[in-house]
Amino acid sequence: ARRESLESYVQRLERIEAIAGAKKGVEKVFAMQAGRELRVMVKPDVVDDVEAHVLAREVAKQIEETADVYAFLAHWTGLSPRP
């Protein structure tokens, strides 16, 4: 039973990361806190601040609908070159 729990846990985290990773402009995704928190790095030349906000809402809604996760926090980090 414990092995099944571990496998389902890993599969859930992979599903969550895949949902965010499939979006345009997303560079890296890290599911944390047992899948309750999602760190997403986006490409700043593709996703601006307004698009990141919309993207966060879309990803949150899709995760809640498909990944059996009902409450989580998404942190969005834009990587941009500094002069």
Q: What is the pLDDT along the chain (83 residues), one digit of tens a residue?
A: 566 688 888 888 898 899 999 999 999 998 887 777 888 888 888 888 888 888 888 988 888 787 666 555 555 555 555 44
Q: How far is CA 9 from the centre of its chain?
A: 16
Q: What is the pLDDT of residue 5?
A: 83
Q: What is the pLDDT of residue 79?
A: 55
Beta-carbon neighbour count of residue 20 at 10 Å?
Answer: 25
Query: What's the rounded Cα separation, in Å, for the pair 63 and 55?
Result: 12
Cβ 42 vs Cβ 21: under 8 Å: no
Helix axes 49-66, 2-21, angle to 10 degrees: 150
Query: What's the rounded Cα separation, in Å, for the pair 82 and 9?
Result: 38
pTM of the model as a whole: 0.74
Q: What is the pLDDT of residue 82?
A: 46
Query: What's the rounded Cα separation, in Å, for the pair 42 and 1?
Result: 37
